[in-house]
A and B are shown apart, each in its own frame.
Chain A
Amino acid sequence: MAVAHAANDYRLGAQAVADGVYVFSGRNEHFTRDNGGNIVNTGFIVGTDAVIVIDTGPSLQYGEQQRKAIAAITRVPVRQVYVTHQHPDHYLGDAAYADASIAALPATISAIQTQGNALADNLYRLVGGWMAGTQSQSPTSTATPGVVEIGGRKLRLIGTAGHTAGDLMVYDEASRTLFAGDLVFHDRAPTTPNADLLQWLNALDQIRQIDFKVLVPGHGAVVRDASAIEQTRDYLQWLSTSLHTAAEQGRDMVEVMNQPLPERFQKLAVHDEEYRRSVSHLYPAIELTTLPRR
């Protein structure tokens, strides 16, 4: 057992991004047996008598190691966990926080209840032994958008949608840090299995209005300006336009997948795979709008 744990070490090191605000940065990759699913950013905020965790990673072991890494920084106990959305790399470590409140938006909770097991199964297939002991579990409470105060930290919970049906952002007023979840990607192609592009673009408009100093994207390096927002918006706008144009031109799905990406997106990590996956997710509905009923 000890050996297995040593082999599956995520080597989580907390990076301070603001006063009392820390981030664990994942790799800009796909799920592999090498990275164990650590492709995601998670983080925590330290209050006077409570630590608030934002997302718990892809597995029970990640959650446990995250908790240990937090304990190495502060003795203040974790009281509150927020799950930004339903995707398995963001919440499967929840079981490491059985003694804390775990909150998510209602749409996230219902998606986890209906699809959670299938998503966890899929991750087992992709990353293998790192998943040992991991089970999908439903968040214990509903996150209500608005301002909450936990451990003396004033947090604004922002409920939105677009990447999935429920995307929760957490904004720390004192440090002006925004945990944007997967509404913002940075130097990595966005994922779209549950996306509504129009809603997502609207959510990005909303994020632009937020007065943040530090932005923690769901994937990719932390930023202190709007560049990651603009990059995500640029990609999604291009994706939407090019899929609609291809459908209008009568392109078949595979032909659309084979289209080269504009040069500015070729530097995004995993752009090739994610673009093809996005065509699978989004093109069927878009092409139907170009096929009139006879």
Chain B
Amino acid sequence: MSRARAALLVCALWCAGSLPAHAATAVDTPVDPLNSPSWQYMRQRFLGKDPMVFDARVQVQMPSAAEDQMQVPVHVSAPGLTDVVDVLVFADLNPLPKILRYQPTSAAPDIGFRFKVEQSTPVRAAMRTRDGVWHVGGAWLRASGGGCTAPSVGTGQGFWQDRLGEISARLWPQQPGLERLRLRMIHPMDTGLAAGIPVFHIDRIDMRASDGRLLASLQTYEPVSENPVISVDLQHSGPVRIDAHDIQGNRFAATVTP
């Protein structure tokens, strides 16, 4: 923690010196507090040359070790960070690092979900604020192997074929103008890495007010767990429409009333 804080301080200084005019030196990536072997590549791939800081306000909460590699629970949040327009969650050392992307248009930048992990890895959240800066936080997850390359449970049972896309959901009003949405969809979320099972996953879940106004938009990738369970906090009161689709073009929709 103190190491992370020290690193944050270093990056904050670095950024203060380089923003916005001197961002051309962006290849001088600040020191990774998680000391990951592939941080440089992750940064290049996901954040490009955008300015970034390691920011302890961006929290990735999860158990330190994976009890079930197929269903590792993660909760991403950023207490004290405002104006977040884009959230990207990835695991450096997963064969498929990108887990999800989330635009909290009228929502807190917080999201709960579960994912499949292949081996011990840093799990990171990068949050882009309106000023264009990525704020990055994360933690190490210990795991011993096998989450991404094992077939989904449902694929073996044929259970999903009858219930594909079935949505179960509920709204919990938190305070005026803020409500939690929890939803679960039935989908195998196959990674394509298990022998003989092609990639097949939900790739978009939009949450809208009943007048069609977009509240939040979520893009899910291969590592998101089978039969995804998602928790988000919407700045909204009243019913929410869920519109989702998978990479084969199947569309799923539901309306949730408080």
Contacts and interface: CB of A to CB of B under 8 A. Distances in A.
Interface string A278-292: 011100100110111
Given A276-B63, A284-B229, A254 B169 contact: no
Interface in B61-112: 61-63, 67-68, 71, 73-75, 112
B204 interface: no
B172 A252 contact: no
B19 interface: no
A258 interface: yes
Interface in A255-274: 255, 257-258
A148 to B, nearest CB: 38
B114 interface: yes
A168 B182 CA distance: 40
A255 B67 contact: no
A287 B184 CA distance: 10
A249 interface: yes
Contacts of B172: 249-250
B112 A288 contact: no
B167 A293 contact: yes
Contacts of B254: 294
Contacts of B167: 293-294
Contacts of A294: 167-169, 242, 254-256
B182 A280 contact: no
Binding site secondary structure of chain B? strand
B110 to A, nearest CB: 9
A109 to B, nearest CB: 23
Contacts of B184: 288, 291
A181 to B, nearest CB: 22
Given A288-B168, A293-B168, A280 B68 contact: yes
B170 A252 contact: no
A247 to B, nearest CB: 9
A290 B73 contact: no
Given A250-B182, A276-B67, A287-B229, A255 B170 contact: no
A208 interface: no
Nearest to A250: B172
A251 to B, nearest CB: 8
A277 interface: yes
B183 interface: yes
Q: Which A-B residue pairs are the 6 nearest by beta carbons? A: A252-B112, A250-B172, A254-B75, A294-B254, A253-B73, A280-B67
Given A277-B67, A281-B67, 18 more contacts: A122-B144, A250-B170, A250-B172, A254-B73, A254-B74, A257-B63, A276-B63, A276-B67, A280-B73, A288-B168, A291-B168, A291-B169, A291-B183, A291-B184, A293-B167, A294-B169, A294-B254, A294-B255
Interface of A: 122, 125, 249-250, 252-255, 257-258, 276-277, 279-281, 284, 287-288, 290-294
7 contacts: A249-B172, A250-B180, A277-B67, A280-B63, A280-B67, A287-B229, A291-B168
